[in-house]
Structure 1
């Protein structure tokens, strides 16, 4: 179901219903093959465990689907959800959500520019517009994250320092950040608004996303840009760089929403 939700971002190829409300008019999507990789931790799962204290996966699959004649790979991580054990029901053909004790994280593997666009631009935009029912698993775990090993410390320390910079974010600093975004990224936004083709729109959207990353999470955006510029960058390194920047922006967004909410509550108290 989640794979179909991602594939619905390409309506010219997707025709299968039940993918979050979207259907298309293309040749359809079909599973070509899948590979079980239970002993391999995906880069994103490693980041969730290391940075945010999330539990490890108990299984991983790589699915390859046929998207209108082109093979596209997906990474699927499986997590135990202890809180959902008592809520499990008997699954039917059309109600996979009855199994609450297992949670899955599905996303396209970063094998192509299209996959980057799906994860960095198209899916966030679809969530914002309410055209998809897919939502990512929570970034954080209620338990504290484990301490990094000496081998992990250089990578973990870099990201942890960047994420902690938002701890002191307040209304004034948030306003300053927004002004910087407007100054530095207004050109990218104008370019996006004037695009005439889907290809130009995708390229402009990615440029805008990178610009936001450079302002909000400059270190992470720089690391991703460096990874993308390498002609033989290992897939795991590329995935980690992408996930770190995405996580950093998510932390900023969550903190920014909290600051806005606090400011609104303070305004209400003062008006009464």
Structure 2
């Protein structure tokens, strides 16, 4: 039986179930002989953007597509990293670690911006561990090109090109200029290999196209949002407000005796039991996803998972009245 991971439980504001299944990548994991990196499940991804207050207009229904794009970007990035490695004579590197640096403009991205190129929407630094024990850092800038997005009516996913890569997401990968070897690879080895046709690597154009220049303003607004890191206020829809009011009415009818039991309890033990019973009654009505997750964790009997699942249920129940009044919180 798989252990319960707290970050794979439904969040307190969630209204529908998300998959907890995690997919394995093709990216070899540094420090292991055969293991590859594992991608977060849709549920983990949703919890992550909730914690970082990045929900904005993203809904639970969007998450499977968002996760697919995220995974696709990483696979594309790794292919490009390996193309760089092969040109330098290394074919069995593994990804040791990675870090997201969305608020740090790379020197190259800054230079491109002076030429009216849009700003990247994200940046990663990946460290590759080679078989000889050396480590090399790669800098990756991710750009969005709206002109390459799918325009097909009813298309819910972006259009994919060769190797399944997403056309509208441009990936600029290169080894960081940390060593003379890396600088030589960037200035001599790769350009020469491309010219001779010894590699399938194709660098992102340095100069922006006319279409890309038109997207400069939007990229700056996106960048300002990233830098400000402001919490996005949660907006409760009218549908959610009405549903919460209906839930409160049902709770008032079906949980009345438990409310009375809590009001009349005499000892800490009986009050704790009454409080839990009332919370579960309210959750069965207004927090069905969280209640079901708690029930499943309880069946597995893992104390840490039970505590976290109960915490989420309590937070969800506490937010029902706020939603009914048009507020709420993520």
> Same fold judged by TM-score > 0.5?
no
Structure 2 length-normalised TM = 0.37
**TM-score, reference length from structure 1:** 0.44
Largest Rg, 1 or 2: 2
Which protein, 1 or 2, shows the higher relative CO under an 8 Å CA cutoff with sep ≥ 6? Answer: 2
